[in-house]
Amino acid sequence: MTNSIANMSPRKAAIIVGVAIIAMFFLAIAVDNFILSNFIGPGDTATLASNIEASQMRFGLGVAGYLIILMLDAAIALALYVILKPVSKILASLTSFFRLLYTAIMVISVLAVVVQLISVYSYGTIKLIGYMFFTAHIFFLGYTVLKSDYIPKSLGILLIIAFFSYIVLLYGKFLIPEQLLPIFVVPAAIAELLLGIWLLWKRDKLPAANVNAD
C-alpha cells in the first residue's frame, strides 16, 4: 500500500480526488435524505431497532452507501497526500492523517450501530468526535492549498471559510440563531466540491510528485 501511494502520479491522484468528491456529494445526498433519514431518533435505540426490523433492506442500502462514502474518504485522504506533498510533506501528512482518523472513527461507529452495540445517541456523540478530526483536516487542507503555488488561492480561502463554517455548524448551534445556520452550510458543502472539479480540470498541470518539499 505504501509503495503504491509513493508511486502514484499527481495526475492519477487528482482523478481519484475529483471523481471521489463528486461521487460522495451526490451519494451523501441520497443516503442522508432519502435512505437513512427515517432511521434517525437520537437516544431511542428501541425505535431504531424497530425501524431496522421493519425496513431491513432500506437500512442495509443506507449502511452500504455510507460505508462506500467512507471508503471514498479514505481514497481522498491518500490521494491528497500525493497532490499536496510538493508543498510540504508535513502538511500533506497531517491533512491525510486527520481525514483517515475521521474515516476510521466513522466506520467503527456505523458498524457498532448496525450490530446495536451502541445507541443512536452514542453514535451521535462519536460522530461529533469524528467531525472534530474532519474539521481539522479541512483546516490543514485549506492552509496547504494557500501555501501552494499551483492551486488557486481562492480555493484555499474557501476551504478556510468552510473550516469556520464546520465549527459553527457542529459546535456553535446554541450560539447562532437556527434561521442563520443555512448560511454556513453553503461554503461547507461546496468548498471540497469545487476543489475536486478543479483537480479534474487541471490534473495535467500539477507538479511532479518528486518535487522537494519540507
Q: In the structure grid, which three cell numbers stand for residue 31, read together? A: 443516503
Average model confidence (pLDDT) for the chain? 84
Place of cell 452495540: 117
Burial of 115 (0-12, 13-18, 19+ CB in 10 A): exposed
38 or 103, higher pLDDT: 103
pTM: 0.86
CA dist 22 and 198 (Å) reads 11
* pLDDT tens profile 131-188: 999 999 999 999 999 999 999 999 999 999 999 998 988 877 667 776 777 777 888 8
Burial of 107 (0-12, 13-18, 19+ CB in 10 A): middle
The DSSP letter of residue 65 is H
Locate all alpha helices (DSSP H) within 115-213, ordered by sequence: 120-147, 153-171, 181-201
Contact criterion met (CB below 8 Å) for 141 and 159 = yes
Work out the angle at residue 104's Cα, subtended by the Cα atoms of residues 9 and 56, and round it to the nearest 5 degrees: 115
The length of the chain, given as a count of residues: 214
Domain extent listing, the chain? 2-204
* pLDDT tens profile 29-73: 877 654 554 555 544 555 556 666 666 777 778 788 889 999 999
* Per-residue model confidence (pLDDT) at position 47: 59
